[in-house]
């Protein structure tokens, strides 16, 4: 029997403890499938005395994870601390400099420093693996780097944050407002006490930047991701979406365009005939369009101890088997600095909701703003009359360039009959333009 693969684990929170539990409970299965055992020889965490539901007997404890990365009797360091800077970054850099493989679930670290870490790892002849960093238990990194490796991928998109998907699902089913559903999600453990990374789209953007690099062979460019969250989605918008044949989803979308790589995170009106419209609650889904395979979709749990641990251990098993793949699908030295497509050049259709005073002349003023900015209206909805009071008016716009829509809305927002800032949600038809 081959020698065990020795690993050191930094971080024993939900995912770290889940990883330890999986390694212990599935030890025989893992050994049979790898041809060797995977053994935890060292750990590091903040609280040595906390009960994590797993035995640490016989495992060396390090108070300092960076020291562990340099000194532990281990060929692999597993980073499950989190954060884009500080100790997590130093830990990974130290492990690579010490010629140790690194497995991480840290999407923020990769989004900001993934290119440099990949080049360092490949230069040192070690693996930087991160399946758990994107979509939890869904093996989308392996799918893009291996299963779809013969395809040119022109677009990848998905629901990449279970918290947002849960909130939007419950808002649609209950008719309740964002704030109340967010509070419920926090009480159930689906949202953090500080939910900003989730509901403001940052978590999705981190994951999208990684997917874009794998899909298109480019350097990670988190700064080029357009980010918009779900705080402004109202029950009124959700009701109108249903009437128009859509569901609202927070999507991360990356695609190649004539202007460069478009990376955007924002709420979308998704047509009901699109499979991703039916991914509900805390589930994630990722769709990739390949030039030979066509469209493929992957669905599953995007977070949680078990699914994320499953992805971490899958990476460990690849290392145990001696399987090696370039970090971001092409050798790190060949990653290109791809041009970024500006958001104002985005071409698509739009949902617009206005709260206007119900009085003569309103539609004429709005129509003039559309005309002046070369924006074409497809349909208009108004439900109910309340002379002299505010009523919602919804328009859908034909496909057009975003800059014209933004300038049109700036003009409409100054009209004295428009009493709230206009609401704009992009309609995602998933065509190839």
- Provide the annotated active-site residues: 207
- For residues 160, 250, 109 and 146, what is the CA-based torsion angle, rounded to 10 degrees? 40
State the Cα–Cα distance between residues 318 and 7, nearest whole angstrom: 13
Q: What's the half-sphere exposure (Cβ side, CA atoms, 13 Å) at 298? A: 21
Q: Of 419, 346, 410, 345, nearest to 373 (Cα)?
A: 410
Q: How far apart are CA 4 and CA 56, in angstroms?
A: 18
What is the three-class DSSP state of 162? helix
Name the token pair of 389. Answer: 């009071």
Q: With beta carbons less than 8 A apart as the criterion, state whether 248 and 270 touch.
A: yes
C-alpha distances in angstroms, 408 versus 100, 343, 359, 432? 55, 16, 21, 25
Measured between its terminal Cα atoms, the distance across the chain in Å is 54
**CA distances from residue 309 to 85, 104, 283, 430 in whole angstroms, order as listed:** 22, 11, 16, 32
- Listed as own residue / partner, the contacts of 53-61 with beta carbons closer than 8 Å and 24 or more positions apart are 53/17, 53/21, 54/17, 54/20, 54/21, 54/24, 55/24
Ramachandran bin of 217, using left for φ above 0, alpha for ψ from -120 to 50, beta for the remaining angles: left
Q: Are 91 and 66 in contact (CB under 8 A)?
A: yes
Token output for 108: 């923020």
Instruction: Say if CB 68 and CB 44 are below 8 A apart.
Output: yes
């Amino acid at each position: 029997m081959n020698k065990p693969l020795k690993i050191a684990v930094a971080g024993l929170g939900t995912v770290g403890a889940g990883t330890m539990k999986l390694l212990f409970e599935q030890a025989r299965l893992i050994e049979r499938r790898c041809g060797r055992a995977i053994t935890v020889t060292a750990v590091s965490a903040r609280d040595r005395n906390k009960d994590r539901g797993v035995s640490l007997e016989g495992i060396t404890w390090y108070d300092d994870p960076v020291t562990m990365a340099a000194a532990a009797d281990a060929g692999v360091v597993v980073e499950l601390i989190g954060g884009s800077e500080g100790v997590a970054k130093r830990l990974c850099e130290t492990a690579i400099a010490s010629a140790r493989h690194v497995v991480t679930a840290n999407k923020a670290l990769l989004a900001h420093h993934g290119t440099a870490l990949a080049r360092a790892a490949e230069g040192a002849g070690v693996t930087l693996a991160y399946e758990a960093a994107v979509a939890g238990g869904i093996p989308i990194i392996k799918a893009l780097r291996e299963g779809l490796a013969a395809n040119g991928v022109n677009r990848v998109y998905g629901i990449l944050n279970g918290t947002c998907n849960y909130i939007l699902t419950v808002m649609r089913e209950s008719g309740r407002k964002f704030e109340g559903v967010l509070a419920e999600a926090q009480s159930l453990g689906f949202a953090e006490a500080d939910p900003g990374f989730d509901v403001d789209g940052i978590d999705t953007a981190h994951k999208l930047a990684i997917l874009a690099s794998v899909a298109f062979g480019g350097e990670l460019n988190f700064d080029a991701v357009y980010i918009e969250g779900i705080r402004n989605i109202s029950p009124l918008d959700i009701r109108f979406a249903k009437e128009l044949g859509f569901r609202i989803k927070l999507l991360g979308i990356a695609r190649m365009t004539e202007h460069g790589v478009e990376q955007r995170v924002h709420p979308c009106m998704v047509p009901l005939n699109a499979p991703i419209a039916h991914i509900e609650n805390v589930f994630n889904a990722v769709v990739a369009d390949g030039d030979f395979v066509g469209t493929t979709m992957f669905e599953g749990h995007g977070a949680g101890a078990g699914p994320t641990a499953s992805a971490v251990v899958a990476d460990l098993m690849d290392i145990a088997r001696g399987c090696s793949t370039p970090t971001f699908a092409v050798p790190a030295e060949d990653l290109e600095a791809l041009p970024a497509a500006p958001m104002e050049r985005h071409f698509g259709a739009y949902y617009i909701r206005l709260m206007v005073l119900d009085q003569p002349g309103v539609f004429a003023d709005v129509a003039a703003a559309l005309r002046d900015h070369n924006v074409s209206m497809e349909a208009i909805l108004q439900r109910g009359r309340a002379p002299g009071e505010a009523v919602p008016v919804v328009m859908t716009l034909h496909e057009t360039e975003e800059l014209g829509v933004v300038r049109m809305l700036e003009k409409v927002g100054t009209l004295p009959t428009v009493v709230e800032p206009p609401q704009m949600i992009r309609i995602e038809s998933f065509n190839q333009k």
